[in-house]
Structure 1
Amino acid sequence: MKKLNITHNLTFYVLLCVVIGVFIGHFHKDWALFKVFEEKFTYSFLGAELAVGPSVSEVFSGVFISLVKLFINPIIFLTISLGIVNMGNLKKVGRVGGKAVLYFEIVTTFALLIGILVSHILEPGVGVIRSEVAGGDISKYTAKAASFNWLGFFKENFTIQVLFFSIFFGIFLNQVRAKARMVAGMNQALQWIFKGLHGVMILAPLGALGGMAFTIGKFGIHSLIPLGKLMISVYATMGIFVFVVLGLILRTCGERISSFLNYIKAEILIVLGTSSSEAGLPSLMHKLEKMGCSKSVVGLVVPAGYSFNLDGTSIYLSMAILFLAQVYGIDLTMGQMVTILGVLMITSKGAAGVTGSGFVVLASTISALQVIPMEGLALLLGVDRFMSEARAITNIIGNGVATVWLAKHENEFKKE
């Protein structure tokens, strides 16, 4: 049996750098906050405003986040446009495709709402940054939150412009007859972008080290408590979603969630080890066919679900954004909450089953909202990797449940 080489596991390096960052921030505050530049500097590239702080730890986290931000607009454009094209293809296959699209939208929207509700109740981000410590760092964001208006939101926001252009371009592309070559080229471009993203994610340990060192050095060791609270909240929320929401969905078609989880436990372990729901896709499809779902339904619903039915990612995104708003003491209006929900309903469809893409979608959503400091992402760098397993596991379970539900309700289920 092949031994697991822990030193080749990115999660191990992230954990190691988190521990080092906490140690430096707490015991060597002067190292963490040592300034290599006189002041913070920003610059724009490919429609993204990139920023690097003055301290050495902010340089580490700032460079990593800046590199991630470069992928935001290309990924939004390609994934949303191609997603709409695929939705058009789904509808063309008939009633099952249309019902699958409707199911995906309802369940993922419900997942977003659950994440927002739990974050409001538990408030995991409260108490990270004391107002006297934060000073004027977030004054422009709180002012922007207070003076939020829809016209300015669309006019001044490049990311949201790209988002809506992607929607219109996807609709246009659906009407083009000779679109096969264009779609193939876009798919190839997306593959290369995700390869580039994978290369950037190798730098995640350094980003986590810098983010943790700066956070602990500036805001104190007590800021670890809300991060732990966020992790517990996310895992608990996803557990409730799986056993209650998905459990009820399965009960409507005569199946039990406990039996289903036991049936796909091997696929869950694969996903747990790789932090990517894509890794368990072939085996899950085989298991669902063996369970009794027709090959046509499995072949349609499971691959489509990896773009449109990411329940775990939806929960994480909504909770992470509310967490950062609470961290910085930004009171979001009802209009902004609706905006967050609307933007997440679109951007979450771009979080394919690729490790690291969830963090990019979170960055793109924050960039689109422009009422939460992007610097807050550094705070999540240390724990994001450990929540990716929960996202991926919830995603694969959600796609399996969706397939069983649709097969049962379309009389495409024959249990041996």
Structure 2
Amino acid sequence: MTLLHPAAEPPSALPTSRPSRLYVLVLLAIAAGVAVGHFAPSAGEALKPLGDLFVKLVKMVIAPVIFLTLSTGIAAMRDLRAVGRVAGRALLYFAVVSSLALVVGLVVANVVRPGAGLNIDPATLDASKVGEYTAKAHETTVIGFVMAMVPDTWFSALTQGNILQVLVVAVLTGIALAQAGAPGQRVLAVMEDASAVVFRLVALVMRAAPIGAFGAMAFTVGKYGLGSLANLAALVATFYLTSALFVVVVLGLVGWLTGFSILRLIAYLREELLLVLGTSSSESALPALIEKMERAGCPKAVVGLVVPTGYSFNLDGTNIYMTLAALFIAQACNVHLTFGQEALLLGVAMLSSKGAAGITGAGFITLAATLSIVPAVPVAGMALILGVDRFMSECRSLTNFIGNAVATIVVARWEGTLDRAQLDAALTGRT
């Protein structure tokens, strides 16, 4: 069985001579941004619009990329039942791996105890600093989340920037095209041509990546300062090391069982990872990830389903952060949690991490939602980590991004549609 139309080819929007140059330019831009933010903080803060503008440019093309990739991929399927099977397998994988990430964060926090010895009195914390996030957490409900998945109109899904709404519209459109016969095939041909144009647009936008990374990094360092990391160095270092171990050990094992090297995959995605690091947003590299996964032998329909859905439901880095940060706050405030309370915290985190899927700043918001239900840990304690959350958001985004790349290959292999020769060629640099 194949999920791709015989005539469909992976897009090649990014010229093969461009990635190495882009990699170097983004790397230099990040270094320059750190220098400007450190030595001229006010100038660094003033550069924030550069990063915001680039992220807006990328978000501008996310909806058409997802819509065209997924709808044309589904329309080209011979067996529409495969759509439900791919989605089911992807969600099952997300549930298992993201839950494992929560457990890893919980275990590491208990072993390392990064908050022990701070002896913070919860009464002295300013809860108003995190009021914005707790308010958003209370506004998020399961029913509201499900209702929000359905757009008001077909067009509004493509204009409002909600990834899950784009997914719903793309799936329904793809099925309609597949069942429409000859008219559907004519529309499909037009959409495939439009897809080539949109990916060329992505290539144009990506040329501004160094400017966006420079502005975003200069703002982050200028506003928050590298010195702010010293106060919570134990937490930041623990989170980065835990995330690195999760990627290398857990995702590395998944990759080994699937038949590819996690280190080679990271090298293959190095330009996109640098972009995520510079902008602190995994969304900035979403269109490029779709393009790279298709180039690596994953069918268009699988990529179109798994990648956007993973951006909402497969948040490995965010899940590690949630349990690690929650226990850090408890330890810092000298709150001793029993085994039952930690189990409750884990269970609530599993639900809240899905309930706030797709919300901007989901890491901090889902942490607020979790702590508001587990009264033993003071929500006001989130003020302790607010100053370094921006630095940890970079690691969250990197881990989430790698996790979604791995998930795409795993589901494609699970479906039996992964082009192993093309994957090996991509990961070894022969493509």
TM value normalised by structure 2: 0.59
Report the CA distance between 1:160 and its aligned residue: 8.5
How do 1:360-379 and structure 2 match up within 5 A? 360-379=365-384
Report the CA distance between 1:293 and its aligned residue: 0.5
Report the CA distance between 1:309 and its aligned residue: 0.1
Residue matched to 1:111: 101
1:167 aligns with one of 122, 139, 142: 142
Q: Structure 1 regions of 5+ residues with no counterpart?
A: 18-88, 139-156, 192-202, 213-222
Q: 1:347 to 1:100 in 2, by over 3 A?
A: same
Residue matched to 1:326: 331
Q: 1:92 to 1:343 in 2, by over 3 A?
A: farther
Residue matched to 1:181: 152
* Alignment deviations for residues 186-205 of structure 1 (CA, whole Å, 9 cap, x no partner): 997886xxxxxxxxxxx999
The answer to whether 1:404 aligns with 2:409 is: yes
Residue matched to 2:68: none
Q: 1:352 to 1:271 in 2, by over 3 A?
A: farther
Report the CA distance between 1:162 and its aligned residue: 5.8
Residue matched to 1:241: 246
Q: Residue 293 of structure 1 contacts residue 407 of structure 1 at CA under 8 Å; is this kept in 2?
A: yes
Residue matched to 1:267: 272
Q: Which amino acid aligns with 1:395?
A: N
1:126 aligns with one of 91, 107, 116: 116
Report the CA distance between 1:333 and its aligned residue: 2.6
Q: Residue 137 of structure 2 contacts residue 365 of structure 2 at CA under 8 Å; is this kept in 1?
A: no
Q: Which amino acid aligns with 2:376?
A: V
Report the CA distance between 1:12 and its aligned residue: 3.9
1:295 aligns with one of 285, 300, 304: 300
Q: Residue 6 of structure 1 contacts residue 12 of structure 1 at CA under 8 Å; is this kept in 2?
A: no
Q: 1:291 to 1:325 in 2, by over 3 A?
A: same
Q: Residue 138 of structure 2 contacts residue 369 of structure 2 at CA under 8 Å; is this kept in 1?
A: no
Aligned partners of 1:5, 1:258: CA distance in 2, in Å? Answer: 22
Q: 1:169 to 1:186 in 2, by over 3 A?
A: farther
* Alignment deviations for residues 109-168 of structure 1 (CA, whole Å, 9 cap, x no partner): 0000000000000000011126xxx39669xxxxxxxxxxxxxxxxxx9999865xx324
RMSD: 4.0
Aligned partners of 2:93, 2:281: CA distance in 1, in Å? Answer: 22
Q: 1:287 to 1:308 in 2, by over 3 A?
A: same
Report the CA distance between 1:373 and its aligned residue: 2.6
Residue matched to 2:259: 254
Q: Which amino acid aligns with 1:365?
A: T
Aligned partners of 2:41, 2:336: CA distance in 1, in Å? Answer: 35
Report the CA distance between 1:394 and its aligned residue: 0.5
* Alignment deviations for residues 59-84 of structure 1 (CA, whole Å, 9 cap, x no partner): xxxxxxxxxxxxxxxxxxxxxxxxxx
Q: 1:339 to 1:187 in 2, by over 3 A?
A: farther
Q: Which amino acid aligns with 1:240?
A: L
Report the CA distance between 1:107 and its aligned residue: 0.3
Report the CA distance between 1:387 and its aligned residue: 1.0
Q: Residue 208 of structure 1 contacts residue 381 of structure 1 at CA under 8 Å; is this kept in 2?
A: no
Aligned partners of 1:310, 1:135: CA distance in 2, in Å? Answer: 29
Q: Which amino acid aligns with 1:181?
A: D
Report the CA distance between 1:94 and its aligned residue: 1.6
Q: 1:206 to 1:380 in 2, by over 3 A?
A: farther
Q: Residue 145 of structure 2 contacts residue 356 of structure 2 at CA under 8 Å; is this kept in 1?
A: no
Q: Residue 91 of structure 1 contacts residue 97 of structure 1 at CA under 8 Å; is this kept in 2?
A: no
Q: 1:189 to 1:377 in 2, by over 3 A?
A: farther
Q: 1:379 to 1:93 in 2, by over 3 A?
A: same
The answer to whether 1:357 aligns with 2:362 is: yes
* Alignment deviations for residues 196-245 of structure 1 (CA, whole Å, 9 cap, x no partner): xxxxxxx9999969xx7xxxxxxxxxx955x1111111011001100010
Q: 1:334 to 1:362 in 2, by over 3 A?
A: same
Residue matched to 1:198: none
Q: 1:332 to 1:182 in 2, by over 3 A?
A: farther
Report the CA distance between 1:317 and its aligned residue: 1.0
Choose 338-347 or 319-328, whichever is displaced more.
338-347
2:90 aligns with one of 57, 81, 100: 100
Q: 1:330 to 1:231 in 2, by over 3 A?
A: same
